[in-house]
Structure 1
Amino acid sequence: MAADRHPKVVGAVWGLLVLNTLGSAGAKTIVPLPRSLIQMVTMGSLVAAFALALAVNPRLRIRPSAYVLLLTLLLVPSLISSVGLDSGFGALFRCFRLALFVGTLWLLSRWWDGGLTFVRHHIRMYYAVLGSVAAGLAISPGAALPDLYGGRLVGALWPLTPPQIGQYAAVITGLTALLLLGRRTDRVSATVVIVPSLVLLALTHTRTATVGLLVGLTLAVFSLVLTSAAARRFFVAAVVSATVVAVAFGSLLQAWFLRGQSQENFTSLTGRAKVWDALLAAPRTTSEYLFGAGLGDKSFGGLPIDNSWLAVYHEQGLTGVTLVAAALLVLGAVALLRPPSLARACAIFLISYCGIASYTEAGLGDASPYLLHLAVAASLLAAPTADTAPATPEATTRRRAPRWARRSELT
Structure 2
Amino acid sequence: MGVDRTSRIVGTVWGLLVLNTLGSAGAQTIVPLPRSLIQMVTMGALVAAFALALAINLRLRIRAGAFLFWLTLLLVPSVISSADLESGFGALFRCARLALFVGTLWLLSRWWDGGLTFVRHHIRMYYAVLGSVAAGLVISPGAALPELYGGRLVGALWPLTPPQIGQYAAVIIGLTVLLVLGRRTDRASAAVVIVPSLVLLALTHTRTATLGLLIGLVLAIGSLVLTSAAARRFFAWAVLCATVAAVAFSSALQAWFLRGQSQENFSNLTGRAKVWEALLAAPRSTTEKLFGVGLGDKSFGGLPIDNSWLAVYQEQGLTGVVLVAAVIIVLGGVALLRPPSLQRACAIFLISYCAIASYTEAGLGDASPYLLHLAVAASLLAAPAAATPLPTPDAPRRHVPRWARRSEVT
Same fold by TM-score greater than 0.5: yes
Q: Quick one: distance in 1 between partners of 2:284 and 2:222? A: 44
* Cα shift readout 1:371-407 (whole Å, capped 9, x = no counterpart): 0000000000000113599xxxxxxxxxxxxxxxxxx
Q: Quick one: distance in 1 between partners of 2:302 and 2:4? A: 46
* Cα shift readout 1:254-273 (whole Å, capped 9, x = no counterpart): 00000000010000000000
* Cα shift readout 1:117-153 (whole Å, capped 9, x = no counterpart): 0000000000000000000000000000000000000
What one-letter code is carried by the residue in structure 1 that aligns with 2:340? P
* Cα shift readout 1:51-108 (whole Å, capped 9, x = no counterpart): 0000000000000111011000000000000000010000000000000000000000
Q: Quick one: distance in 2 between partners of 1:5 and 1:353? A: 32
Q: How much has 1:2 moved relative to structure 2?
A: 10
Q: Quick one: distance in 1 between partners of 2:130 and 2:144? A: 12
Q: Does 1:291 align with 2:303?
A: no
Q: Quick one: distance in 1 between partners of 2:64 and 2:226? A: 31
The 5 Å alignment of 1:16-165 reads 16-165=16-165
Q: Quick one: distance in 2 between partners of 1:230 and 1:3? A: 33
* SS, match of residue 137 in structure 1: helix
Report what 2:383 is aligned to: 383
* SS, match of residue 85 in structure 2: coil
What one-letter code is carried by the residue in structure 2 that aligns with 1:128? A
What one-letter code is carried by the residue in structure 2 that aligns with 1:67? F
Report what 1:247 is aligned to: 247
Q: Quick one: distance in 1 between partners of 2:87 and 2:290? A: 16
Q: Quick one: distance in 1 between partners of 2:23 and 2:349? A: 24
Over 3 Å counting, the alpha-carbon distance change for 1:307 and 1:3 in structure 2 is farther
Q: Quick one: distance in 2 between partners of 1:295 and 1:336? A: 32
Q: Quick one: distance in 1 between partners of 2:51 and 2:13? A: 9
Retained in 2: the 8 A contact 1:224–1:341? yes
Report what 1:361 is aligned to: 361
Q: Does 1:224 align with 2:210?
A: no
Report what 2:9 is aligned to: 9
Retained in 2: the 8 A contact 1:3–1:112? no
The 5 Å alignment of 1:179-328 reads 179-328=179-328
Over 3 Å counting, the alpha-carbon distance change for 1:120 and 1:274 in structure 2 is same
The 5 Å alignment of 1:336-355 reads 336-355=336-355
Q: Quick one: distance in 1 between partners of 2:239 and 2:86? A: 52
Q: Quick one: distance in 2 between partners of 1:96 and 1:129? A: 25
Q: Quick one: distance in 1 between partners of 2:274 and 2:216? A: 28
What one-letter code is carried by the residue in structure 2 that aligns with 1:95? C
Retained in 2: the 8 A contact 1:331–1:351? yes
* Cα shift readout 1:291-346 (whole Å, capped 9, x = no counterpart): 00000000000000000000000000000000000000000000000000000000
Q: What is the TM-score normalised by the length of structure 2?
A: 0.94
Over 3 Å counting, the alpha-carbon distance change for 1:3 and 1:347 in structure 2 is farther
CA RMSD of aligned residues (A): 1.3
What one-letter code is carried by the residue in structure 2 that aligns with 1:343? Q
Retained in 2: the 8 A contact 1:3–1:111? no
* Cα shift readout 1:244-292 (whole Å, capped 9, x = no counterpart): 1110101000000000000100000000000000000000000000000
Q: Quick one: distance in 2 between partners of 1:48 and 1:322? A: 31
Q: Quick one: distance in 2 between partners of 1:3 and 1:307? A: 41
Q: Which has more radius of gyration?
A: 2
Q: Which runs of 5+ in 1 are unaligned?
A: 390-411
What one-letter code is carried by the residue in structure 2 that aligns with 1:30? I
Q: What is the TM-score normalised by the length of structure 1?
A: 0.93
Counting aligned pairs with the same residue, the percent is 85
Q: Quick one: distance in 2 between partners of 1:7 and 1:184? A: 18
* Cα shift readout 1:170-212 (whole Å, capped 9, x = no counterpart): 0000000000000000011000000000000000000000000
Over 3 Å counting, the alpha-carbon distance change for 1:262 and 1:281 in structure 2 is same
Report what 1:167 is aligned to: 167
* SS, match of residue 124 in structure 1: helix
* SS, match of residue 6 in structure 1: helix
What one-letter code is carried by the residue in structure 2 that aligns with 1:144? A
Retained in 2: the 8 A contact 1:268–1:274? yes
* SS, match of residue 184 in structure 2: coil
* Cα shift readout 1:212-262 (whole Å, capped 9, x = no counterpart): 000000100000000111111111111011001110101000000000000
Q: Which runs of 5+ in 2 are unaligned?
A: 390-410
What one-letter code is carried by the residue in structure 2 that aligns with 1:306? D
Q: Quick one: distance in 2 between partners of 1:352 and 1:4? A: 32
What one-letter code is carried by the residue in structure 1 that aligns with 2:243? T
What one-letter code is carried by the residue in structure 2 that aligns with 1:51? A
Q: Quick one: distance in 2 between partners of 1:106 and 1:64? A: 8
Q: How much has 1:7 moved relative to structure 2?
A: 1.1
Q: How much has 1:5 moved relative to structure 2?
A: 6.5
What one-letter code is carried by the residue in structure 1 that aligns with 2:266? F
